[in-house]
Structure 1
């Protein structure tokens, strides 16, 4: 599996752009990358999943753990996604409150900054 993670900061919010396929083979490394991104989060963390073509339940759970940790630390958290591969499972599993989805980085950053 080929995947990548690219961190950057946008308006004081840590952005982590993920690409490729996210599955059980990469979940441990994904968890580490999410932890590092959250540790650098100023106002919060936005995970950009626009370039992700597949995300299995183990990686969805890693995102959920990170969202819960962000919330417990008083930080905002959000996802950027438009693909049914991401949007459908989050919606079907009724996780939209814990994993709020925006269609653009600007929208997600604005949501995270609002708290």
Structure 2
């Protein structure tokens, strides 16, 4: 499940459950909307995500690119679950994306 809320200039996209090629389009849609809504920052909260595959990494990297072009900060919030953390470690996404340990930190880092 992918939901988005905006409050005080920050859009938080909350992702829960398993993420794969079926849920990636909804995440991509939410990221595109967030980049265009005028918020100063977008946070993708993955703390409730138990599984993610490469299609989600593509959505996150595309999101990072469009947010950069829009001049909007883009941060991933954890804590990341074991499977998601492993995916980020193996692929190097944890070095290529800004990842914060919690939603609270991601809101201001």
Q: Same fold (TM over 0.5)?
A: yes
- Rounded to whole Å, the distance in 2 between the matches of 1:19 and 1:58 is 15
- The aligned counterpart of 2:3 is 6
Alignment of structure 1 residues 34-49 onto 2, 5 Å: 34-49=31-46
1:53 aligned partner: 50
Q: In 2 relative to 1, CA 64–53 (structure 1 residues): closer, same or farther, beyond 3 Å? A: same
Query: 1:51 deviation in Å?
Result: 0.9
Distance 1:24 1:40, change over 3 A: same
Give the Cα separation in 1 of the matches to 2:3 and 2:21. Answer: 20
SS state at 1:19 partner: strand
Distance in structure 2 (CA, Å) of the matches to 1:69 and 1:27 = 16
Q: CA deviation at 1:53?
A: 0.9
Corresponding residue of 1:26: 23
Structure 1, unaligned runs of 5 or more: none
**Contact persistence 1:87–1:101 (CA under 8 A):** no
Structure 2 unaligned regions, length at least 5: none
Query: Which one is further off, 50-59 or 10-19?
Result: 10-19
RMSD: 1.7
Matched, 1:79 2:70: no
User: Normalized against structure 2, the TM-score is what?
Assistant: 0.86
TM-score by length of 1: 0.82
Which portions of structure 1, spanning 4 or more consecutive aligned residues, are displaced by more than 6 angstroms?
A: none
Aligned pair count reads: 108
